[in-house]
Amino acid sequence: MKNIDSRGHVRGESIYLDDIPELRGTLHGVAFDSTCAHGIIKNIDYSKAEKLAGVIKIITSKDIPGQNQIGGIFPDEELLAENEIHFWGQPILLIIAESQKIAFKARKLISITVDELPVIVDAREAKAQNKLVMPPRTFKLGEPKNKWKDCEFIFEGIANSNGQEHLYIETQGAYAVPMENDSIRLYSSTQGPTAVQRITAQVLGIPMHKIEVDVTRLGGGFGGKEDQATTWAVMAALGATLLNRPVKVSLHRMDDMRMTGKRHPYSSDYKIGLSKDLKILAYEATFYQNAGAAADLSPAIMERTLFHATNSYFVPNVEVTAYSCKTNLPPNTAFRGFGGPQGMYVIEAAIAHAAHELKISPREIQEKNLLQNGNEFPYGQIADQVEIGNTWKDAKSKFELEKLEKEVAIFNKENKHFKKGISLMPISFGISFTKTVMNHARALVHIYQDGSIGVSTGAVEMGQGVNTKMVQVAASVFSVNANKIKLETTNTTRVANTSPSAASATADLNGKALEIACNALVKRLIETASKHLGIAISDVKIQDEFVYNKNIKTEWDWKKLIETAFLDRVCLSENGHYATPIIHYNKEIEKGHPFAYHVYGTAITVVTVDCIRGRYEIDALKIVHDFGKSMNTIIDRGQVEGAAVQGIGWMTMEEIIYNAKGKLISNALSTYKIPDIYSVPKELLIEQLETQGHELAILKSKAVGEPPLMYGIGAYFAIQNAVKAFNPNYKLKFDAPFTPEKVLMGLYEKE
């Protein structure tokens, strides 16, 4: 089935926040933000700005009717800074004007004096000063401390990975419209409508039922709108409440880049111990997560780093510890993979390090330690239905790995100024919110009396195709044509208390809820048909919009069935609720079964490095991916392609730079490079693993949003192998992204 949005997208008719027609009298909000990263506000002078024609109001923290508090996990983040500033770009005032242009002009007229305080931008420095968001956490399996003496080889080192800008095409924004009786309708470009509703209620000091959040779709989220869409929605609602007029806040790209958090940079220590036959006997790692100036989702992200610290390998003795370090950067936040990639990168670095010293290919180590059924993860879950070995085997055979390796070797022998590198990257990603209580969803289904169907769920469409999948679920349960089904906007009045669309789990959670609702309706319809047609309930079947008696088609079509049920006063609406079974987790002992299942895959990456210029191209990315039984191959392949390229961007070229004072230097698309059409792999092959799929995946079609991002990690090691092929003096470093500058330095590094 084609993506239901493709026609609208291509014709420019799809509705994003800025496409919502503005009501007469709509005002525009722009944040005035801090120009230093840490300090105490001494004085703010906005008298000139206030007098500018078209400026309606300058809102300060004192105008907030409820709590000046937007923290999602911990209450540690003000909407508008009152006294102390914690990061460069922190909102201090909200300017409301007749147009955004006027508001921007007014912003330039505001002056502020701040008593500056010391700025910390580095996670390890924050840890040294004991500035932590929360106490550290440790996952442990076996006894690594006692195991080192049994290891034939031990290697230790440091691996750093940098942040990543979400760069959703649609920037953050919201539009608030005052309704009667102090209610507000809030259109928000958010992955988490309920989070927006809850925090807005808190800031305005009103109950949640006064706020209706409505989301048609997002122009991309990638995690950046899981928690941080809230800020802007709350600002719009605050303006609308104080002025009783519609208020829109829609961020300029550079404001968005400066004021919002990104993927967390990590600096990590690793220690890996291997036996003579290359079994990983012990692994220790300490992760220093750069959380930024407030908790945001950092504690949960830190947790997922620990969950994925051993990637696709079984290691019998593991001890991994993570610190969430408080710095003066914008609060870092969810980003596709949610800390998982940062954890996986470190063990891959440890393996690359070991292989380098032992003068073997990393894949010999990788292959010997792949996870198998019955293995225990460091957090206690027992691996089952493991597919990593199958994807690995398939990748090797389908893509003729040995031939590829030979070609690379020959190329490197024959070429002086160009070198190729190859790597393998296995992935295993746990599916479920790691916080068990978040794993539930609801769906509301109406069958209208003409037989057409309206579906509302808690899922937010952000380009990932979840709405198309929801249509497929309803169409398959009802056995009707997809054109009978309309996907409604995501709206907190229709579907309440939702978890954000995140964790790759949106189609599973909302799809299962929808399946439950549809099945309940089908049951009622079957009873109706049975009663009127005199067929035993067990013999009635609805198929392809007809009622069947056993396998014989009756006269009754879908329309007749619905009409009759309606006249029989049968309820044609249903609210389905789903909560993932099986999963549980005990934080006290750091053991449990947090994931419904895992997604597996293996990628082969081949690169060519230009050893004069330090530039590189990704020649090929060849993937065997475990889709389960994909319910929509086009959409799912699109997710794999997009995620893999995003992962490559993170590992190779996207370089977020803050200076020592905490100012974002890579603050626009001229200074922050993301993969373009020239930097995607020249050859991108995706093979589906033959598998039955998993019962807890919707229609056995596994979650696909985040896992393939981690294929991109392979690019780092492929480039490194090419650099090694050119320069025997190159000293192994794990400092992503591997930018052309770093490649060049590596190519000409001396003994």
Task: Mark 451-490 with x for binding to ligand MOS (rule: CB under 6 A) and - for no binding.
Answer: ----------------------------------------
Is residue 376 annotated as part of the catalytic site, yes or no?
Answer: no
Query: Could you tell me which stretch among 429-437, 459-467, 490-498, 715-723 binds ligand LUZ (CB under 6 A)?
Result: 429-437
Q: Which does 473 bind (CB under 5 to 8 A by kind): ligand LUZ, ligand MOS, none?
A: none
Rounded least distance, CB 606 to ligand MOS, Å? 28
* 364 neighbors 355 (Cβ within 8 angstroms): yes
DSSP structure string for 310-360: TTTB--SEEEEEEEEEE-SSSPP---TTTTHHHHHHHHHHHHHHHHHHHTS
* 616 neighbors 609 (Cβ within 8 angstroms): yes
The residue within the footprint of ligand LUZ, chosen from 31, 70, 121, 334 (CB under 6 A), is: 334
Instruction: Of 169, 174, 177, give the one whose Cα is nearest residue 192.
Output: 174
3-state secondary structure (DSSP) of residue 695: coil
Residue count, binding to ligand LUZ (CB under 6 A)? 11
Of residues 327 through 386, those in contact with ligand MOS by CB under 6 A are 334-336, 338
Nearer to ligand MOS, 227 or 655 (CB): 227
Burial label for 732, CB within 10 Å (0-12, 13-18, 19+), is middle
Nearer to ligand MOS, 338 or 734 (CB): 338
Nearer to ligand MOS, 432 or 472 (CB): 432
Task: Mark 687-706 with x for binding to ligand MOS (rule: CB under 6 A) and - for no binding.
Answer: -------------------x
Contacts for 359 with CB less than 8 Å, ≥ 6 apart: none
**Amino acid, res. 152:** E
* 642 neighbors 674 (Cβ within 8 angstroms): no
Helix axes of 193-204 and 230-243: crossing angle, nearest 10 degrees: 40
> Side by side, which strands form the sheet with 137-141?
137-141, 317-326, 280-292, 266-274, 153-161
Instruction: Of 500, 459, 166, 218, give the one whose Cα is nearest residue 332.
Output: 166
Q: Which does 565 bind (CB under 5 to 8 A by kind): ligand MOS, ligand LUZ, none?
A: none
Is residue 503 within the footprint of ligand MOS (CB under 6 A)? yes
Nearer to ligand MOS, 262 or 484 (CB): 262
Nearer to ligand LUZ, 194 or 434 (CB): 434
SS3 of 666-694: the string is: CCCCCCCCCCCCCCCCCEEEEEECCCCCC
Query: Could you tell me which stretch among 147-155, 296-304, 689-697, 734-742 binds ligand LUZ (CB under 6 A)?
Result: 296-304
* 604 neighbors 401 (Cβ within 8 angstroms): yes
The residue within the footprint of ligand LUZ, chosen from 176, 238, 300, 623 (CB under 6 A), is: 300
Task: Mark 647-686 with x for binding to ligand MOS (rule: CB under 6 A) and - for no binding.
Answer: ----------------------------------------
The 10 Å Cβ neighbour count of residue 557 is 16
* 269 neighbors 286 (Cβ within 8 angstroms): yes
What phi and psi, each to the nearest 5 degrees, are found at residue 288?
-110, 105
The residue within the footprint of ligand MOS, chosen from 191, 312, 467, 510 (CB under 6 A), is: 191
Rounded least distance, CB 578 to ligand LUZ, Å? 17
How far is 621 from 613, CA to CA, in rounded Å?
A: 23
3-state secondary structure (DSSP) of residue 225: coil
Instruction: Of 623, 619, 496, give the one whose Cα is nearest residue 209.
Output: 496
Torsion of CA 484, 486, 487, 489, to 10 degrees: -170
Neighbouring-strand partners of residue 301: none
Nearer to ligand MOS, 170 or 226 (CB): 226
Q: Which does 227 bind (CB under 5 to 8 A by kind): ligand MOS, ligand LUZ, none?
A: none
Nearer to ligand LUZ, 167 or 583 (CB): 583
Of residues 189 through 228, those in contact with ligand LUZ by CB under 6 A are 226
Nearer to ligand MOS, 262 or 494 (CB): 262
The residue within the footprint of ligand LUZ, chosen from 126, 215, 424, 503 (CB under 6 A), is: 503
Is residue 302 within the footprint of ligand MOS (CB under 6 A)? no
Rounded least distance, CB 506 to ligand MOS, Å? 8
Is residue 263 within the footprint of ligand MOS (CB under 6 A)? no
Task: Mark 459-498 with x for binding to ligand LUZ (rule: CB under 6 A) and - for no binding.
Answer: ----------------------------------------
Query: Which whole-number Å values give the CA distances from 679 to 186, 302, 361, in the listed order?
Result: 39, 30, 26
Omega within 30 of 0 (cis) for the link into 737: yes
* 311 neighbors 348 (Cβ within 8 angstroms): yes
Rounded least distance, CB 188 to ligand LUZ, Å? 18
Of residues 405 through 424, those in contact with ligand MOS by CB under 6 A are none
- Which member of 706, 741, 749, 751 is catalytic? 706
SS3 of 457-503: the string is: ECCCCCCCCHHHHHHHHHHHHHCCCHHHEEECCEECCCCCCCCCCCC
Rounded least distance, CB 226 to ligand MOS, Å? 4
Burial label for 30, CB within 10 Å (0-12, 13-18, 19+), is buried
Burial label for 141, CB within 10 Å (0-12, 13-18, 19+), is buried
Nearer to ligand MOS, 335 or 730 (CB): 335
Contacts for 677 with CB less than 8 Å, ≥ 6 apart: none
Rounded least distance, CB 295 to ligand LUZ, Å? 12
Instruction: Please give the structure tokens belonging to residue 404.
Output: 């590829």
Is residue 433 within the footprint of ligand LUZ (CB under 6 A)? yes
Q: Which does 191 bind (CB under 5 to 8 A by kind): ligand MOS, ligand LUZ, none?
A: ligand MOS
The 10 Å Cβ neighbour count of residue 181 is 5
The residue within the footprint of ligand LUZ, chosen from 32, 314, 338, 672 (CB under 6 A), is: 338
The residue within the footprint of ligand MOS, chosen from 165, 226, 303, 654 (CB under 6 A), is: 226
How far is 217 from 4, CA to CA, in rounded Å?
A: 12
Is residue 106 within the footprint of ligand LUZ (CB under 6 A)? no
Nearer to ligand MOS, 342 or 423 (CB): 342
The residue within the footprint of ligand LUZ, chosen from 166, 304, 591, 598 (CB under 6 A), is: 304
The residue within the footprint of ligand LUZ, chosen from 455, 502, 596, 680 (CB under 6 A), is: 502
For ligand MOS, the nearest residue by Cβ is 223
Contacts for 131 with CB less than 8 Å, ≥ 6 apart: 120, 325, 326, 327
DSSP structure string for 575-591: EEEEE-SS-EEETTTTE
Nearer to ligand LUZ, 235 or 596 (CB): 596
Rounded least distance, CB 697 to ligand MOS, Å? 16
Q: Which does 734 bind (CB under 5 to 8 A by kind): ligand LUZ, ligand MOS, none?
A: none
Task: Mark 144-183 with x for binding to ligand MOS (rule: CB under 6 A) and - for no binding.
Answer: ----------------------------------------
Nearer to ligand LUZ, 434 or 457 (CB): 434
The residue within the footprint of ligand LUZ, chosen from 434, 506, 701, 720 (CB under 6 A), is: 434
Instruction: Please give the structure tokens belonging to residue 35.
Output: 């120009």
Return residues touching ligand MOS (CB under 6 A): 191, 223, 226, 334-336, 338, 502-503, 706
Return residues touching ligand LUZ (CB under 6 A): 226, 297, 300, 304, 334, 338, 433-435, 502-503
Residues with catalytic roles? 706
